[in-house]
Structure 1
Amino acid sequence: MQPEITDRGEFRTEHASRYLQQLCKHFAHKVDVQFDETAGSVAFPFGPATLTATDDALIAVVTAPTEDKLRDARRAIDSQLVTFAFREGFTTMTWGATAPA
């Protein structure tokens, strides 16, 4: 069995809690989601994601069995944040750390 791949993304923003909740509410229309104001978990079909809101950042940790599925998870989060965080000029999270904060 191939080991899972994990990636960590960060979006520096004062509105992290709002975006976390918007993302979770959006994803809950299609997959299982648990969340509160500072933490969320999303059961994507390509692998789980955990979201954390701090005072100055939204952090996403995604896990998947392949690079392609990991890319799908990152894309799912980034594409929704483009819509939700348009006032901040959001384009993509800063991805690349391999371990949670």
Structure 2
Amino acid sequence: MPTSLGRAATDAAPRYAKQVASHFGRKIPVGETPDGGHRLTFQATDVVLQPADDHLLIRVTAPDASALTAIQDVIGSHLERFGRRNELTVTWDEPSAD
């Protein structure tokens, strides 16, 4: 299954992770991870939001490259919209075929 990592530099990572989880939690299964992050499940695609001190790490695992790209776009655009005032941007690594 293809996997991709995204990062958004911010000192408010827990707040953004919670905001995204809350937003999507009305439509899809969302849960907290033991390390204070959030897991979102879009059908067969899994998104883990892991807040750190200076960034938010986003791990997307999907059944195929098309689903991976679609969820990257959805999560990235929502985060950037939520963080527009702080000029939040998400950068994605090249997908791996884990």
TM-score above 0.5: yes
Residue from 29, 33, 39 that aligns with 2:30: 33
Distance 2:61 2:84 in 1: 26
Alignment of 1:17-96 (within 5 A): 17-35=14-32, 38-90=36-88, 92-96=89-93
Q: Structure 2 unaligned runs (5+)?
A: none
- Kept in 1, the 8 Å contact 2:30–2:38? The answer is yes
Cα deviations by residue, 1:7-60 (Å, 9 ceiling, x for unpaired): 000111001000000000001011000127831100012500111001111000
Distance 1:44 1:81 in 2: 16
Alignment of 1:3-18 (within 5 A): 4-18=1-15
The two structures have a TM-score, normalised by structure 2, of 0.87
Secondary structure (helix, strand or coil) at the match of 1:71 reads helix
Q: Which amino acid aligns with 2:21?
A: C
Distance 1:89 1:61 in 2: 21
Q: CA RMSD in A?
A: 1.8
Of the two structures, which has the highest relative contact order with CA contacts closer than 8 Å and spacing of 6 or more?
2
Runs of 4+, deviation exceeding 4 Å = none
What number of residue pairs does the alignment pair up?
95
Q: Structure 1 unaligned runs (5+)?
A: none
The two structures have a TM-score, normalised by structure 1, of 0.85
Identity %: 31
